[in-house]
């Protein structure tokens, strides 16, 4: 939540900062602001609303922005104080010396605010951030104007989660950042340095980056970077190279990032499988730093995740239990540590997160590690906090996901979790090599099958436009179709802002069927008629039950499954595949459905209201 950019170098800082904010706007779009440092002065501009409002204000500013080569910028997802101009970042200290931007929550801000009031400093905003600007400015003269030292002194006094980035009018050759429990990465260019919430902000200028650790302060200049802990001791950092380029974070000819990301799913699935399957069918998971001996000792798996990633975990539960016979629990990360879960050293916790920064998931994994569990992260973002704090990581290679609604992350999270399940089955001897090979073959066929679905979604768009005025849509499924139903409903809620709910189809008769009224759209995920045909037959009965009560059914069923045709008002076909693979194809039409409905309603699909891509507060 909140996007942060800092720059010091040889280019016009305003242009670099605004282009960085454009790439980070998906992290929050309640307001945006910039501060430039030049010749002992700060120039700031900030506006409520989307970045476009700030850009318009900058274009009309009097005096116009100075030709500074040092600056900071922020896009906000509001926590303390409404989304107003006044609460927008940067916040400037009362002496005009320091401008600061912040992501996170300073929990002891009320007490710090009182302390500042006693010093006669009146706060102009309702934010927790503003206290940090005044505190850093008060510290500066006490540490000979050393901005990094002033930041360290202030950070030692702050509770909560924060990334802070500051500039000082009198030292326009330096930008200082600090992080605790919120993301901040460094970009290292030729004669220029960057700070940002994620690498997308500076990818057009450099792919050389540095991960910062917990409780570190970084001072960036044109010529280099210095990192210490909050006490000023030199800190070890991890450099890395970003393996995608700026074009991956552009719309690439699509009207929406979401449409582009839906279309990228075959490649994302193929990339997540690539290089991990040996010719003889053995799995090689390079970043699996938990030894086979340790994995053989595991007697319980707990998946922790939020939102879409949680639904991927629910799908994975069916597969991993089936393949390994290890009990798997799937937990909402935000609930996990508050219910005294039974975790011990033989528990494997799998933390699934696209961003690698979701605070609820991070706190769950920290709790699990404190209890002695081993933690494996499934993550899409190299250099992010969740993989760094885990014992092992399996990266999904989906490339940057910019649209707030997750699409390719979901499919690749399922694939990665399946690889973990098969790897466990392999090292524990639950499955023979040729059985694992057969499932891997099925997985390797999925990119082509997802491609086939993409070729046939025009019909889904038409249905979505027809149903756009419906007050409510229900989704039902069984087995792995149940989490798919939940995911379909989540997409519709977040994009079309309408009531949507997913149910296990068998649960309908225990209450929710009372919701059905004449014309209500019900999306039904029908499992393959082959193999587990009991499952199929049961859901065919469920379609009849809702239709008998007036529902308008949209049935997602395998090519060639004619048994559902009499009960379908609309039918959406997906290619035949084994039950456990079906989520990889049946989710795609639901993504398209939500995207099209939101478009029909005139909503901003890539940046839905009240949301942000990376949720870095609890
Ligand atoms: C769904 O479309 C959302 N983007 C959201 O539910 C998301 O999956 C959740 O916030 C978890 O994010 P993460 O994967 O980055 O941890």
CA distance 38 to 72: 12
27-62 residue pLDDT tens: 989 999 999 999 899 999 999 999 999 999 999 999
Indicate the DSSP class of residue 421: H
Indicate the DSSP class of residue 407: S
Mean pLDDT of the region 287-298: 89
Neighbours of 257 (CB within 10 A): 23
Instruction: Indicate the pLDDT class of residue 532, thresholds 50, 70 and 90.
Output: low
What is the pTM (predicted TM-score) of this model? 0.90
Output the pLDDT for position 156. Answer: 98
Residue 361 Cβ contacting ligand 1 at under 6 Å: yes
Could you give all domains of the chain from N- to C-terminal order, each with its CATH number?
Answer: 3-249 (3.60.20.10), 257-444 (3.40.50.10490), 455-600 (3.40.50.10490)
Residue 354 Cβ contacting ligand 1 at under 6 Å: yes
- Asked which of 287-291, 413-417, 565-569, 609-613 is least confident by mean pLDDT, the reply is 287-291
Residue 400 Cβ contacting ligand 1 at under 6 Å: no
User: Bigger pLDDT: 125 or 1?
Assistant: 125
Torsion, Cα 426 428 430 431, to 10 degrees, reads 20
Name the strands in the sheet holding 499-504, side by side, starting at the edge strand that comes first in the sequence.
499-504, 472-477, 521-525, 552-558, 570-574
Q: Do 529 and 559 form a contact (C-beta atoms < 8 A)? A: no
- pLDDT of 233 higher than 70: yes
Q: Name the residue with the closest Cα to ligand 1, atom 10.
A: 307
Catalytic entry in 46, 260, 317, 613: 613
| 46 DSSP β-pair partners | 33
Output the pLDDT for position 344. Answer: 94
Q: Do 306 and 334 form a contact (C-beta atoms < 8 A)? A: yes
Output the pLDDT for position 345. Answer: 94
Alpha helices in 455-558 (DSSP H): 458-467, 481-496, 533-548
Q: What is the 3-state secondary structure (H, E, C) of 175-235?
A: EEEEEECCCCEEEEECCEEEEECCHHHCCCCCCEEEECCCCEEEEECCCCEEEEECCCCEC
Q: Which of 363, 406, 590 has most ligand 1 atoms within 8 Å of CB, for mutation? A: 406
- DSSP codes, 42-67: EEEEEEESSHHHHHHHHHH-SSPPP-
How close is the Cα of 553 to the center of ligand 1, in Å? Answer: 28
Do you know the residue count of the chain? 618
CA distance 415 to 265: 11
How close is the Cα of 355 to the center of ligand 1, in Å? Answer: 8
Q: Which of 309, 363, 502 has most ligand 1 atoms within 8 Å of CB, for mutation? A: 309
For helices 51-60 and 13-24, the axis angle rounded to 10 degrees is 160
144-197 residue pLDDT tens: 999 999 999 999 999 998 999 999 999 999 999 999 989 999 999 999 999 999
Which of 130, 150, 155, 148 has the alpha carbon at shortest distance from 140? 150
Residue 359 Cβ contacting ligand 1 at under 6 Å: no
Q: Name the residue with the closest Cα to ligand 1, atom 11.
A: 306
Output the pLDDT for position 46. Answer: 97
453-511 residue pLDDT tens: 999 899 999 999 999 999 999 999 999 999 999 999 999 999 999 999 999 999 999 99
CA distance 255 to 253: 7
Q: Do 486 and 473 form a contact (C-beta atoms < 8 A)? A: no
Mean pLDDT of the region 264-293: 89
374-426 residue pLDDT tens: 999 999 998 889 999 999 999 999 999 999 999 999 999 999 999 999 999 99
Average pLDDT over the chain reads 95
Residue 2 bears catalytic tag? yes
Residue 408 bears catalytic tag? no
Angstrom distances, CA of residue 312 to CA of 258, 302, 305, 343, 349: 18, 13, 9, 21, 15
Distance between first and last Cα of the chain: 11
Which of 440, 387, 401 has the alpha carbon at shortest distance from 270? 440
Strands 98-106 and 91-92: antiparallel
Q: Do 27 and 75 form a contact (C-beta atoms < 8 A)? A: yes
Residue 309 Cβ contacting ligand 1 at under 6 Å: yes
CA 292 to mean position of chain CA atoms: 30
CA distance 493 to 476: 15
- pLDDT of 269 higher than 70: yes
Catalytic entry in 2, 155, 577, 595: 2
- For CA atoms 106, 107, 108, 113, the dihedral sign is positive
């Amino acid at each position: 939540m909140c996007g942060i950019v800092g720059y010091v170098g040889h280019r016009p800082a305003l242009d670099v900062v605004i282009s960085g904010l454009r790439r980070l706007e998906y992290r929050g779009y309640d307001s945006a602001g910039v501060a430039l440092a030049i010749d002992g002065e700060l120039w700031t501009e900030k506006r409520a609303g989307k970045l476009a409002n700030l850009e318009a204000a900058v274009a009309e500013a009097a005096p116009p922005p100075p030709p500074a080569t040092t600056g900071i910028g922020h896009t906000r997802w509001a926590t303390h104080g409404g989304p107003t101009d006044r609460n927008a970042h940067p916040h400037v200290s009362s002496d005009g010396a320091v401008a600061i931007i912040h992501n996170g929550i300073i929990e002891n801000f009320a007490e710090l605010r009182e302390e500042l009031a006693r010093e006669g400093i009146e706060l102009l905003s309702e934010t927790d951030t503003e206290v940090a600007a005044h505190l850093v400015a008060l510290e500066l003269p006490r540490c000979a104007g050393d901005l990094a030292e002033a930041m360290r002194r202030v950070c030692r006094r702050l509770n909560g989660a924060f990334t802070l980035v500051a500039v000082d009018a009198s030292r326009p050759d330096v930008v200082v950042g600090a992080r605790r429990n919120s993301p901040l990465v460094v970009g290292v260019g030729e004669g220029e340095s960057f700070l940002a919430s994620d690498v997308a902000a500076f990818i057009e200028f450099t792919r050389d980056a540095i991960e910062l650790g917990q409780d570190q302060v970084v001072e960036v200049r044109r010529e280099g970077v210095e990192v210490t802990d909050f006490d000023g001791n030199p800190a070890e950092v991890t450099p890395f190279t970003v393996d995608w380029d700026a074009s991956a974070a552009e719309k690439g000819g699509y009207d929406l990032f979401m449409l582009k990301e839906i279309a990228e799913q075959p490649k994302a699935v193929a990339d997540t499988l690539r290089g991990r399957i040996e010719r003889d069918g053995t799995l090689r998971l390079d970043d699996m730093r938990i030894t086979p001996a340790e994995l053989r000792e595991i007697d319980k798996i707990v998946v922790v995740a939020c939102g879409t990633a949680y639904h991927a975990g629910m799908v994975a539960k069916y597969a991993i239990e089936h393949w390994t016979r290890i009990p798997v629990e799937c937990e909402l990360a935000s609930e996990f540590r508050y219910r005294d879960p039974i975790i011990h050293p033989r528990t494997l916790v799998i933390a699934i997160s696209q961003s690698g920064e979701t605070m609820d998931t991070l706190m769950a994994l920290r709790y699990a590690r404190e209890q002695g569990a081993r933690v494996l992260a499934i993550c899409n973002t190299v250099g992010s906090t969740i993989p760094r704090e885990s014992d092992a990581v399996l990266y999904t290679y989906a490339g940057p996901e910019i649209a707030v609604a997750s699409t390719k992350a979901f499919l690749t999270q399922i694939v990665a979790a399946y690889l973990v399940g098969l790897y466990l089955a392999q090292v524990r001897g639950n499955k023979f090599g040729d059985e694992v090979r057969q499932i891997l073959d099925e997985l390797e066929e999925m990119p082509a099958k997802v491609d086939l679905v993409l070729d046939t979604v025009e019909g889904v768009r038409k249905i979505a436009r027809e149903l756009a005025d419906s007050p409510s849509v229900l989704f039902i499924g069984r087995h792995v179709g149940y989490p798919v139903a939940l995911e379909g409903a989540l997409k519709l809620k977040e994009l079309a802002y309408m009531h949507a709910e997913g149910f296990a189809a068998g649960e309908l008769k225990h209450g929710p069927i009372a919701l059905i009224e004449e014309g209500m759209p019900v999306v039904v995920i029908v499992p393959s008629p082959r193999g587990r045909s009991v499952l199929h037959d049961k859901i065919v009965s469920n379609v009849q039950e809702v239709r008998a009560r007036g529902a308008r059914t949209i049935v997602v069923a395998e090519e060639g499954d004619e048994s559902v045709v009499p009960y379908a008002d609309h039918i959406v076909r997906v290619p035949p595949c084994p039950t456990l693979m079906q989520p990889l194809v049946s989710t795609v039409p639901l993504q398209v459905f939500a995207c099209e409905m939101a478009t029909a309603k005139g909503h901003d699909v890539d940046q839905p209201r009240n949301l942000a891509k990376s949720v870095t507060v609890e």
